[in-house]
Structure 1
Amino acid sequence: MNENQFNALEEIIKEQYANIAGMVILKKDNFVYEKYFNGYTQEDTIHIASVTKSVISALIGIAVDRGYIKNIDQKVLEFFPKYKVKRGERKIHEITIRNLLTMTAPYKYKSEPYTKVYSSDDWTKAALDLLGGKGTIGEFKYSTVGAQILSGILTNATGKTVLDFATENLFKPMSIRPPYNQKVQDKDQYLAFLKNKYVSGWVVDPQGVNTAGWGLAMKPRDMTKFGQLYLNKGIWNGRQILSSKWIENSMKENSRWVEVPYGYLWWIIEDEVCSGYAALGDGGNVIFVSPEKKLVVAITSTFMPRVKDRIELIRKHILPLI
Structure 2
Amino acid sequence: MKLLSFLPFLFFIFLFGCSSDSNTEPAPEESPSIANLYFPPAQSPDWEGVSASELEWNTDAEEALRTFLDEKNTKAFIILEKGRIVIEWYFDDHTQNTSWYWASAGKTLTAFTVGLAQEEGFLSIEDITSDYLGIGWTDTPSEKENLITIWHQLTMTSGMDDTTFECTDPACLTYVADAGSRWAYHNGPYTLLQSVVANATNMEWNDYFNARLRDKIGMDGFWFNADPNSIFYSTARSMARFGLLNLNNGVWDGETILADSQFKSDMKSASQNLNKAYGYLWWLNGKESYRAPAFQTEFQGELIPNAPSDTYAGLGKNDQKLYVVPSESLVIVRMGEDSGEGLLGPSSFDNQLWEKLSDYIK
Tell me by how many angstroms 1:262 deviates.
0.5
* Residue in structure 1 matched with residue 16 of structure 2 by the alignment: none
* Residue in structure 2 matched with residue 14 of structure 1 by the alignment: 70
Tell me by how many angstroms 1:237 deviates.
1.7
Could you tell me whether the CA contact under 8 Å between 2:271 and 2:278 is conserved in 1?
Answer: yes
In structure 2, the CA distance between the partners of 1:178 and 1:8, relative to structure 1 (3 Å rule), is: closer
In 1, Cα distance between equivalents of 2:209 and 2:245 = 14
Q: Which amino acid aligns with 2:241?
A: K
Q: Which amino acid aligns with 1:312?
A: N
Matched, 1:237 2:276: no
Identify unmatched segments of 5+ residues in structure 2.
1-51, 54-58, 287-301
Could you tell me whether the CA contact under 8 Å between 1:91 and 1:132 is conserved in 2?
Answer: no
Partner SS, residue 306 of structure 1: coil
Tell me by how many angstroms 1:302 deviates.
2.0
Tell me by how many angstroms 1:310 deviates.
3.5
* Residue in structure 1 matched with residue 161 of structure 2 by the alignment: 108
Select the residue among 210, 222, 227 that pairs with 2:243: 227
In 1, Cα distance between equivalents of 2:70 and 2:140 = 55
Could you tell me whether the CA contact under 8 Å between 2:139 and 2:174 is conserved in 1?
Answer: no
Could you tell me whether the CA contact under 8 Å between 2:103 and 2:232 is conserved in 1?
Answer: yes
Select the residue among 125, 141, 149 that pairs with 2:184: 141
Partner SS, residue 292 of structure 1: helix
Q: Which amino acid aligns with 1:311?
A: D
* Residue in structure 1 matched with residue 225 of structure 2 by the alignment: 203
* Residue in structure 2 matched with residue 274 of structure 1 by the alignment: 308
* Residue in structure 1 matched with residue 281 of structure 2 by the alignment: 265
Matched, 1:36 2:58: no
* Residue in structure 1 matched with residue 266 of structure 2 by the alignment: 249
Tell me by how many angstroms 1:85 deviates.
6.6
Partner SS, residue 33 of structure 1: strand
Partner SS, residue 22 of structure 1: strand
TM-score of the superposition, structure 2-length normalised? 0.71
* Residue in structure 1 matched with residue 78 of structure 2 by the alignment: 24
The count of residues paired between Structure 1 and Structure 2 equals 280
Tell me by how many angstroms 1:152 deviates.
1.1
In 2, Cα distance between equivalents of 1:88 and 1:173 = 42
In 2, Cα distance between equivalents of 1:129 and 1:241 = 38
TM-score of the superposition, structure 1-length normalised? 0.79
In structure 2, the CA distance between the partners of 1:86 and 1:100, relative to structure 1 (3 Å rule), is: closer
* Residue in structure 1 matched with residue 47 of structure 2 by the alignment: none
Mean CA deviation greater in 48-57 or 263-272: 263-272
In structure 2, the CA distance between the partners of 1:256 and 1:47, relative to structure 1 (3 Å rule), is: farther
Tell me by how many angstroms 1:84 deviates.
6.7
- Aligned Cα RMSD in Å? 2.4
Select the residue among 320, 336, 351 that pairs with 1:285: 320
* Residue in structure 2 matched with residue 74 of structure 1 by the alignment: 127
Identity of matched residues, %: 24
In 1, Cα distance between equivalents of 2:264 and 2:132 = 24
In structure 2, the CA distance between the partners of 1:311 and 1:257, relative to structure 1 (3 Å rule), is: farther
